[in-house]
């Protein structure tokens, strides 16, 4: 098959040239050569300057996802093994690797692919058509790279069941890659034990990106009365409990999440200190305020209020409302931890929204710490989607 060349329009490809990983449909001048969606193509600037190689998909507005900046590199087994090995060596340097994200898509130069490691289990999420052809080979290579460090993977499960697949012209897929195995996996993070259900848990089973944000809360929660909102599997609540919190309440609208969190509390012998209940947080916070409840620490870890640029305006209202309600429950001199996991809610927009919530609640904020996602979810500059988690800790003071 002859080489397929994608030529950019003059003046386009600015994000790509700044270090990004995507080429949008409206940036392309012409495509020469025959291809099938998912094929690897060569990208050139308007004047023929080589920009590298990526895979193409005419079903997607992200027309080309880049694999390499070098025109002469072959996308073969050696190339994929280099990418996998680099990703693993990076994790070994920056995080606790017992459970971590090993491959983070574009930020690891393997666009559209996520692989999480939970002890001796891998969970795979493939969101791009072009990555489908490499998915199984990358999993196999990763198992071999891990084996070099004495890590034996007992099973691999695929959770490619996100809506992004449909936009790529792909069916949603969920199931074992290889032999079946027990999909309940016990992990230990920051000294806390969890049972991760990789089949039914959210995303790939667990939110690994908040690992060190949860750890940061341990020193603040010791001896405190803590309210953890949108607790999911009880992660922040249990970190507070294991750090020596006096009393912890976790709230979540999902009965399944609350049952999982309760089991995790028992697993850590914290059932007398850390309690969970099913509640709609937006309704429950005003009820608690009306009842005169106050907490030393309030933690807000809501789901993404927006998954599109168009819905950002409504998301701002949602974040402002939840932070205003949360702030009213913090004692004078207490602490608020609040976050957003939507990349459309930029750092600037998020901090502005919190400032508005504090003003409306008549509270003064002293910033303790600003954090982002764990380093196993690296932020690739010029690829905005890779920077999504903003996490802030404040001391809350009355206006007096």
Task: Taking each helix axis as running N to C, give the angle between helix 129-147 and helix 77-94, from 0 to 180 degrees, rounded to the nearest 10.
Answer: 60
Q: Can 341 be counted among the known catalytic residues?
A: yes
Final residue in a domain of this structure, among 34, 68, 102: 68
pLDDT, tens only, 162-213: 888 998 999 999 999 999 999 999 999 999 999 999 998 888 889 999 999 9
Same-domain check for residues 281 and 345:
yes
* Assigned domain for 227 exists: yes
User: Within a domain: residue 198?
Assistant: no
Structure tokens at 318: 């949602």
pLDDT-derived band at 159 (thresholds 50, 70, 90) equals: very high
What token pair was written down for 32? 């020469």
3-state secondary structure labels for all residues of the chain: CCCCEEEECCCCCHHHHCCCCEEEHHHEEEEECCCCCCCEEEEECCCCCEEEEEEECCCCCEEEEEEECCCCCCCCHHHHHHHHHHHHHHHHHHCCCCEEEEEEHHHHCCCCEEEEEECCEEEEEECCHHHHHHHHHHHHHHHHHHHCCCCCCCEEEEEECCCHHHHCCCCCEEEECCCCCCCEEEEEECCEEEEEECCCCCCCCCCHHHHHHHHHHHHHHCCCEEEEECCCCCHHHHHHHHCCCCEEEEEECCHHHHHHHHHHHHHCCCCCCEEEEECCHHHHHHHHHHCCCCEEEEEECCCCCCCCHHHHHHHHHHHHHHHHHHHCCEEEEEEEEEEECCCCCCHHHHHHHHHHHHHHCCEEEEEEEEECCCCCCCCCCCCHHHCCCEEEEEEEEECC
Residue 351, in any domain of the structure: yes
Structural domains of the chain, count: 3
Asked if 254 and 324 sit in the same domain, the reply is yes
Task: Say if residue 235 is in the same domain as residue 363.
Answer: yes
Instruction: For residue 339, give the nearest of 232, 210, 206 by alpha carbon.
Output: 210
Q: Identify whether residues 171 and 271 lie together within a single domain.
A: no
CATH of residue 379:
3.40.50.150
Identify whether 193 is part of a domain.
Answer: no
Rounded CA gap, 156 and 175, in Å? 9
Is residue 201 one of the residues assigned to a domain? no
| Last residue of one domain, picked from the residues 20, 51, 68 | 68
State whether 97 and 46 are in the same domain: no
User: Structure pTM?
Assistant: 0.94
pLDDT at 1 over 70: no
Dump pLDDT digits (tens) for 14-32: 999 999 999 999 999 999 9
Express each pLDDT in 259-303 by its tens digit.
999 999 999 999 999 999 999 999 999 999 999 999 999 999 998
Both 182 and 271 in one domain: the answer is no
Q: Above pLDDT 90, what percent of the chain? A: 89
Contacts of 360 (CB under 8 A, 6+ apart): 320, 324
We report the CATH number of the domain holding residue 25 as 2.30.130.10
**147 and 218, same domain (yes or no):** no
Alpha carbon of 19 to those of 22, 128, 233: distances in Å?
10, 20, 36
Residue 112: left if φ>0, alpha if ψ -120 to 50, beta else—which one? left
Residues 51, 85 within the same domain: no
Catalytic residue among 100, 126, 229, 341: 341
Tokens linked to 225: 């009365």
Same domain, 143 and 167: yes
Query: Does 223 reside within a domain?
Result: yes
Does any domain span residue 265? yes
User: Which residues, in sequence order, are bridge partners of residue 337?
Assistant: 299, 393
The residue-averaged pLDDT of 81-101 equals: 98
Nearest partner of 128 among 86, 160, 83, judged by Cα: 160
pLDDT-derived band at 308, boundaries 50, 70, 90: low
Per-residue tokens: 19: 């270090």
The domain that holds 125 is classified in CATH as 3.30.750.80
**Of 14, 34, 68, which residue is a domain's last?**
68
Q: Are residues 12 and 107 in the same domain?
A: no
User: Minimal CA–CA distance to 129: which of 204, 58, 25, 51?
Assistant: 58
Give the range of the structural domain holding residue 54, as residue numbers without chain letter.
5-68
Asked whether residue 165 falls in the same domain as residue 291, the answer is no
Asked if 195 and 235 touch (Cβ cutoff 8 Å), the reply is: no
Instruction: Specify if 242 maps to a domain.
Output: yes
Nearest to residue 68, comparing CAs of 42, 100, 87?
Answer: 42
Domain identity same for 224 and 360: yes
> Average pLDDT for residues 338-354, to the nearest whole number?
93
- If you average pLDDT over every residue of the chain, what do you get? 95
Q: Going by C-beta distance under 8 Å and a sequence separation of 6 or more, which residues neighbour residue 283?
A: none
Chain-centroid distance, C-alpha 193: 20
């Amino acid at each position: 098959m002859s080489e397929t060349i994608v030529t950019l329009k003059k003046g386009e490809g600015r994000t790509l040239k700044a270090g990004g990983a995507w080429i949008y449909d409206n940036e392309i001048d012409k495509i020469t050569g025959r291809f099938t969606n998912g094929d690897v193509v060569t990208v050139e600037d308007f004047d023929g300057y080589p920009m590298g190689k990526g895979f193409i998909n005419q079903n997607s507005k992200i027309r080309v996802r880049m694999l390499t900046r070098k025109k002469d590199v072959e996308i073969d087994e050696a190339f994929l093994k280099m990418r996998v090995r680099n990703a693993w060596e990076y994790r070994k340097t920056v995080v606790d690797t017992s459970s971590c994200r090993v491959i983070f898509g574009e930020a690891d130069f393997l666009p559209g692919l996520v692989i999480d490691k939970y002890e001796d289990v891998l969970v795979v999420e493939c969101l791009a058509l072009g990555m489908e052809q490499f998915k199984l080979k990358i999993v196999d290579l990763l198992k071999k790279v891990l084996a070099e460090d004495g890590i034996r993977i007992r099973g691999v499960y695929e959770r490619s069941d996100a809506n992004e697949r449909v936009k790529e012209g792909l069916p949603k897929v969920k199931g074992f890659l290889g032999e079946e195995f027990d999909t309940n996996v016990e992990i230990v993070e920051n000294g806390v034990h969890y049972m991760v259900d990789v089949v039914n848990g959210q995303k790939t089973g667990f939110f690994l990106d908040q690992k060190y944000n949860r750890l940061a809360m341990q020193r603040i929660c010791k001896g405190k009365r803590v309210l953890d909102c949108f607790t999911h599997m009880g992660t922040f609540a249990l970190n507070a409990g294991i750090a020596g919190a006096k009393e912890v309440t976790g709230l979540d609208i999902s009965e399944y999440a609350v049952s999982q969190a309760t089991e995790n509390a028992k697993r850590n012998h914290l059932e007398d200190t850390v309690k969970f209940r099913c509640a709609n947080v937006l309704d429950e916070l005003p009820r608690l305020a009306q009842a005169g409840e106050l907490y030393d620490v309030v933690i807000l870890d809501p789901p993404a209020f927006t998954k599109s640029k168009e819905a950002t305006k409504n998301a701002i209202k949602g974040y402002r409302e939840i932070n205003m309600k949360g702030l009213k429950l913090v004692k004078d001199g207490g602490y608020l931890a609040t976050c957003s996991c939507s990349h459309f809610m930029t750092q600037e927009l998020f901090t502005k929204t919190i400032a508005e919530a504090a003003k409306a609640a008549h509270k003064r904020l002293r910033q303790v710490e600003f954090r982002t996602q764990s380093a196993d979810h690296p932020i690739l500059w010029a690829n905005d989607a890779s920077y999504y988690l903003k996490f802030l800790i404040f001391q809350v003071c009355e206006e007096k």
